[in-house]
Amino acid sequence: MNYETVIGLEVHVELATKSKIFCSCNAKYGAGPNEHVCPACCGMPGMLPVVNKRVVDYGMKAGMMLNCHINRTTTFDKKSYYYPDLPCAYQTTQWFAPVAVNGTVEIETSKGKKNIRIKQIHMEEDAGKLVHDIAEDTTHVDFNRTSVPLIEIVSQPDLSSAEEVEAYLERLKMLLRYAKVAECAMEHGTMRCDVNLSVRPEGSDQLGVRTEMKNMNSIEAIKHAIEYETARHIDAIENGTEVLVQETRRWDDIKGKSFAMRNKETAGDYRYFPDPNLMPVVIDDAWYDSIQASLPELPEEKYARYTEQLGLSEYDAAQLVKSIALCECFEAAHAVCGSAKDAANWMISEIMSILNQRKMTYDMLNINGTSLGELIKLVMDGTVGRANGKKILNAMFEDASIVPAEYAEKNGYIMSNDTGLIEQVVKAAIEAEPKAVADYKGGKEKAIMSIFGRCMKELKGNCDPQTLRTILIDTINKM
């Protein structure tokens, strides 16, 4: 019998706000233990939560990117459970009226396009982090992450393979990064995923027994886990190797197996109720419209515009739309230099390779697009040679404040039109390389390159290669 896998995902994404959801503490990842804490996010009695409006902005924006209906009155609720990383023993989340509901995300796999329905997106606070010290046999609590804003994106059980799950997660990352609401870096834990999975005979309209794997933090692990669980479920159904029960399981990526969690870790009643300290958030038309107006062009829309209006090749356009940071840099550079092709060329052959060399993601691009445009313009109009242009670009990666024209001036990267100087350099080079001259004259055309190189080095690259070449050949021929 053939089986199909039915998968629904709950994806937690940390929002990229400066401050936490209910207090003004820094929400950035990477500080020392308990450096970003205050009495409010530590849950001390007497502190009252006040909603960070930016979190609602981002929640709405995420909802709109995923084609959701935005609830114009959205409320916060308390979810109770005991865990040492949860200082109040309750988490403030959205249970009764989440910010966004009923959306769709289109994915594309080897089998074509498919719409994945989104059940809801709700805003909530993250919990802290337990740090286990094996040497001392103790556990420490780090509250930096407590109250960092999250959204949880809950899909309908519309996914049916590891490939679809990967496409879905990549699409979510792309959309949320385009909207600049989240970093979505699984390696930093700013995107985490719970996988709900069941298996049923193909064509059946009954759902099988569902298991949940929590806190998956890499796409590779998710793919392995889906394959493992699918096989385990089919084995259980066909061969009766075990009785499937609805349960939460932990994926062990090293062992390549899932394990049932202790009942105690999963059982319980969260006792949700509306948080009386947080008034319902009412989203009026002006607020709604301002968020709608701030939505970015989608990757497909950019691609179409780049290829149809700006005349870029399909390859170039596809490279650029991989990241909103690349697109923005490209667009700003284009606005200054006026040539889409030159700008795209610099982005793809120079910037993307520098990023790769530096092991930076595209989203980490820190070059100012306007400065890049100025640089491209300098190279285009012959003020700076291309090789020197690349040196300036590398310097710009180190220091974002560099103004290309000033930097070129200061470092002697301005092209020379002084033919007298060029002739002088050429003359000296010919004298220094009698063998190359003889080879060239003897018919070895390539021999001229070493003299050319010597000249270019002497001129510090500040010479139009064509002009140099002409003067060099003329001078040799006249000898």
Residues that bind another protein (CB under 8 A): 39, 43-51, 78, 80, 82, 84, 87-90, 269, 271-274, 276-279
Could you give the CA distance from residue 432 to residue 437 in angstroms, rounded to a whole number?
Answer: 10
Single out the residue of 382, 380, 381, 374 nearest to residue 405, CA to CA. Answer: 374
Which CB sits closer to another protein, 90 or 330? Answer: 90
Which CB sits closer to another protein, 167 or 281? Answer: 281
Query: Shortest approach of another protein to residue 133 CB, angstroms?
Result: 16
Query: Shortest approach of another protein to residue 153 CB, angstroms?
Result: 23
What ranges in 346-418 are assigned the alpha helix state H?
A: 352-357, 369-380, 386-398, 404-410
Cα end-to-end distance, the chain, whole Å? 87
Query: Shortest approach of another protein to residue 73 CB, angstroms?
Result: 15
Which CB sits closer to another protein, 51 or 387? Answer: 51
- Collapsed DSSP state (helix, strand, coil) of residue 394: helix
Which CB sits closer to another protein, 87 or 157? Answer: 87
Which CB sits closer to another protein, 79 or 322? Answer: 79
Q: Specify the amino acid at residue 166.
A: E
Query: Shortest approach of another protein to residue 156 CB, angstroms?
Result: 22
- Residues 277, 77: contact at Cβ < 8 Å? no
Query: Shortest approach of another protein to residue 41 CB, angstroms?
Result: 13
Single out the residue of 447, 469, 443, 445 nearest to residue 456, CA to CA. Answer: 469
Which CB sits closer to another protein, 85 or 363? Answer: 85
Could you give the CA distance from residue 367 to residue 393 in angstroms, rounded to a whole number?
Answer: 9
Which CB sits closer to another protein, 276 or 443? Answer: 276
Which CB sits closer to another protein, 43 or 189? Answer: 43
Query: Shortest approach of another protein to residue 81 CB, angstroms?
Result: 9
Query: Shortest approach of another protein to residue 244 CB, angstroms?
Result: 23
Could you give the CA distance from residue 1 to residue 68 in angstroms, rounded to a whole number?
Answer: 37
Query: Shortest approach of another protein to residue 130 CB, angstroms?
Result: 11
Which CB sits closer to another protein, 99 or 348? Answer: 99
Query: Shortest approach of another protein to residue 123 CB, angstroms?
Result: 15
Could you give the CA distance from residue 175 to residue 179 in angstroms, rounded to a whole number?
Answer: 6
**Secondary structure element (H or E) that encloses residue 4, with its range:** strand 3-14
Could you give the CA distance from residue 312 to residue 291 in angstroms, rounded to a whole number?
Answer: 30
What ranges in 157-298 are assigned the alpha helix state H?
A: 162-178, 219-239, 263-266, 285-293
Q: In what order do the strands lie in the sheet with 149-155?
A: 69-70, 100-109, 112-125, 149-155, 3-14, 191-201, 211-216, 247-252, 257-260
Residues 99, 25, 32: CA angle, nearest 5 degrees: 120
